[in-house]
């Protein structure tokens, strides 16, 4: 159906460019202004044609986030664990736990350092951003909007109550995006994350 619609759209634009126009419009279309108008119409037709084609090539047809789930607070998709170690040791052990697995550490963000550079104060807080395409890609294939949640993240913070390690609750997270956790192997990812945090906090 898409090729037929695209063909008709392009034909319509071509006819629109070739038909005679009233004197006032004809004067406006003379010279450079007329050329610009024609180019704009052709560009619009090309964009519309590409968009129509994309609709027939597996692009998501409905909302990627279930409206009924969109209002859930993000905190529901987090799991916190108290660490038996100080902040520096916890960060070190967490990094070691990640490096011993087939994971890539894309970044370590020292939030406290960034705050200090801005002349502000913040308790110790380090964010690890890491992942493995074999685990993350199926999530985004199921719902492309999950790309905003990936790569995976683990945060180490220090408060008056001690050091905590916060990680994503994958089952709750994918549920917020309207997915069945069993369909994207959320349990396997959960097991990996739980093991990493256990090594960092023990």
Radius of gyration of the chain (CA): 26
pLDDT in tens, the chain (202 residues): 444 444 444 444 444 444 444 433 333 344 444 444 444 444 444 444 334 333 444 444 455 445 555 555 555 688 999 999 999 999 999 999 999 999 999 999 999 999 999 999 999 999 999 999 999 999 999 999 999 999 999 999 999 989 999 999 999 999 999 999 999 999 999 999 999 999 999 9
Q: Which residue has the tokens 């994350």?
A: 193
Q: How far is CA 130 from CA 52, 86, 153, in A?
A: 36, 22, 6
What does pTM read for this prediction? Answer: 0.65
Helices (H) and strands (E) in the chain, counts: 8, 5
Residue-wise pLDDT for 183-199, tens only, equals 999 999 999 999 999 99
Q: What is the pLDDT of residue 198?
A: 97
């Amino acid at each position: 159906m898409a090729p037929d619609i695209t063909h008709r759209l392009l034909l319509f634009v071509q006819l629109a460019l070739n038909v005679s126009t009233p004197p006032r419009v004809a004067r406006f279309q003379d010279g450079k202004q007329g050329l610009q108008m024609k180019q704009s119409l052709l560009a619009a037709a090309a964009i519309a044609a590409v968009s129509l084609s994309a609709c027939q090539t597996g692009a998501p047809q409905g909302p990627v986030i279930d409206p009924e789930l969109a209002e859930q607070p993000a905190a529901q998709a987090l799991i916190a664990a108290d660490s038996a170690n100080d902040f520096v040791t916890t960060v070190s052990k967490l990094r070691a736990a990640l490096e011993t697995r087939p994971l890539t550490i894309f970044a370590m963000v020292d939030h406290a350092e960034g705050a200090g550079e801005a002349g502000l104060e913040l308790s110790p807080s380090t964010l690890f951003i890491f992942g493995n395409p074999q685990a993350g890609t199926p999530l985004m294939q199921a719902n492309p909007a999950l790309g905003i949640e990936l790569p995976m993240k683990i945060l180490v913070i220090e408060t008056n109550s001690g050091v905590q390690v916060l990680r994503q609750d994958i089952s709750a997270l994918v549920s917020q995006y309207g997915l069945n956790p069993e369909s994207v192997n959320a349990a396997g990812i959960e097991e990996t994350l739980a093991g990493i945090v256990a090594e960092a906090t023990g």
